[in-house]
Structure 1
């Protein structure tokens, strides 16, 4: 279990993390989201004892990670997959790590096989692709069979098969009762992987809780309706704060009224429809709404393909 209590980190006059508190619980995948520069990496480094907090504390299973008697068995972390001696082979790198904790070479072979590195285990890490480096970083994190796993952008550089594998791995580790703390910018993957979310912006917590609650709290249910009589349905539902967006000649998206009320109105007005589908916000939409005031780096909008260079 990870417990972060009033964690603060200042670099001179800049406050990178400001009074942050949250928990990541065993048996669940906790997603850690936020714009670039929001304080995610700094928070993870403080959890792992790599940076010292200005105030507050971070605990892993009730104590600071620096006090762990067997660090690899307590927390497995992937923060920077490139932090490896490039002249060593993947197997040599993992065996050197294993030796620090008295782990057998058999465990090295297990994580190599688990992460799909069998064919390249004897190759020097300096020649690895980005995706292969990520797999080695994950193998390193799993080496000590840790109770808590911290992954920072673990799918970076992975192909679709690798992305799916990481998703399934995180779900599997959580199912074994481990704590999984995961940072990623891929909202579609986070939506399929995380149970809980912690969203940070400009060093402060913006939202936290079960992912379903966070999405539900950011907008009304919208309903997609397909009918041959859009005009009649629009007229029948007009008023009462109902908002209707026309998608095409036979499709509208309606908010401000429940799907049941739409069906009842259509029935009373004898309006035939052939689809009525409630549509919740996606995680990406909810995230964009929550963080719209916390984005530090903004991209310029492009006005036409001629501006793309």
Structure 2
């Protein structure tokens, strides 16, 4: 279990993390989301004892990371996959880590096999691709067979097979009762992997809930409706708080009205409806809605281009 209480970190005048409180429970995959500069990496570094909090506390299995006598056996982390001596082989990198905790050589062999690095184990890390570096970082995180696993962008650089492997791995670890804390910018992957989400923005927690609760809580009811009389049905549905769009022939998208009410209205007017599909907000849509006021750098996708010097 990971517990943060009023955790804060300031670098001079800049506050990176501003009094966050959360608990990462065992037995489930907890996703950690936030825009760039939101405080995710700083929070993870404080969990691992790499940065000291300005105030507050964060504990792993009841104690700060630095107070554990054998921290690799308590918590394994992938924060920076490239933090490896480039002249070492994967095998000797893991052997050196194992020696610090009296972890037997057979465990090194096990994590090499688990992460699919067998063919590259004796090669120097400087020749590793980004994906191979990620696999080595995950191998190091699992080396001590820890009860808590923290992974920052673990699928970065992995091919589709590797992404599926990580997804299955973290879910297996959670099913064993371990605490899994996972950060990723890939919303589609997080939607398939996480059970619970913690969302941070501008250093503060803005959501901490099961993923389904976050999906259900964002936006109003939205329904896809197909009918051979779209204009007539749109007029019947129009009222305060209801938005009706017609993106295609015989297709309506209705926001703010439950499917049952749409069906009742159509039936009362004798309008044939041959599709009525509730539309769930995607995780990406829910995330963007949650963080819309907390993005440090915001692009203007639909802004008009600036005039050229010739036009000026």
TM-score (norm 2): 0.95
- The question of 1:157 aligning with 2:150 is answered no
Once the two structures are superposed, the pairs formed by residues 4-19 of structure 1 within 5 Å of their partners are 4-19=4-19
Alpha-carbon distance between aligned partners in 2 of 1:304 and 1:17, rounded to the nearest angstrom: 35
Match of 2:247 in 1: 247
Alpha-carbon distance between aligned partners in 2 of 1:278 and 1:94, rounded to the nearest angstrom: 50
Offset of residue 15 of structure 1: 0.7
Match of 1:135 in 2: 135
Alpha-carbon distance between aligned partners in 2 of 1:211 and 1:93, rounded to the nearest angstrom: 37
Q: Is the 8 A contact 1:91 1:121 kept in 2?
A: yes
Match of 1:230 in 2: 230
Offset of residue 299 of structure 1: 3.1
1:187–1:267: structure 2 CA closer, same or farther, 3 Å change rule?
same
Alpha-carbon distance between aligned partners in 1 of 2:179 and 2:52, rounded to the nearest angstrom: 22
Match of 1:213 in 2: 213
Q: Is the 8 A contact 1:32 1:198 kept in 2?
A: yes
Offset of residue 190 of structure 1: 0.7
Q: Secondary structure at the match of 1:274?
A: strand
Q: CA RMSD in A?
A: 1.7
- The question of 1:125 aligning with 2:142 is answered no
Offset of residue 155 of structure 1: 0.7
Runs of 4+ off more than 4 Å: 302-305
Deviation per residue, 1:196-227 (Å, 9 max, x gap): 11111111111111111112222112111112
Offset of residue 298 of structure 1: 2.5
Alpha-carbon distance between aligned partners in 2 of 1:43 and 1:17, rounded to the nearest angstrom: 7
Alpha-carbon distance between aligned partners in 1 of 2:299 and 2:161, rounded to the nearest angstrom: 30
1:242–1:299: structure 2 CA closer, same or farther, 3 Å change rule?
closer
Structure 2, gaps ≥5 residues long: 308-312
Deviation per residue, 1:81-115 (Å, 9 max, x gap): 00001111111111111111111111111111111
Q: Secondary structure at the match of 2:138?
A: helix
- The question of 1:263 aligning with 2:270 is answered no
1:243–1:304: structure 2 CA closer, same or farther, 3 Å change rule?
closer
Deviation per residue, 1:257-303 (Å, 9 max, x gap): 11111111222222112211111111111111111111112335377
Once the two structures are superposed, the pairs formed by residues 69-84 of structure 1 within 5 Å of their partners are 69-84=69-84
Q: Secondary structure at the match of 1:141?
A: helix
- The question of 1:194 aligning with 2:194 is answered yes
Q: Is the 8 A contact 1:220 1:280 kept in 2?
A: no
Match of 2:23 in 1: 23
Q: Secondary structure at the match of 1:26?
A: coil
TM-score (norm 1): 0.96
Q: Is the 8 A contact 1:76 1:150 kept in 2?
A: yes
Q: Is the 8 A contact 1:221 1:281 kept in 2?
A: no
Structure 1, gaps ≥5 residues long: none
Number of paired residues? Answer: 307
Alpha-carbon distance between aligned partners in 2 of 1:24 and 1:51, rounded to the nearest angstrom: 19
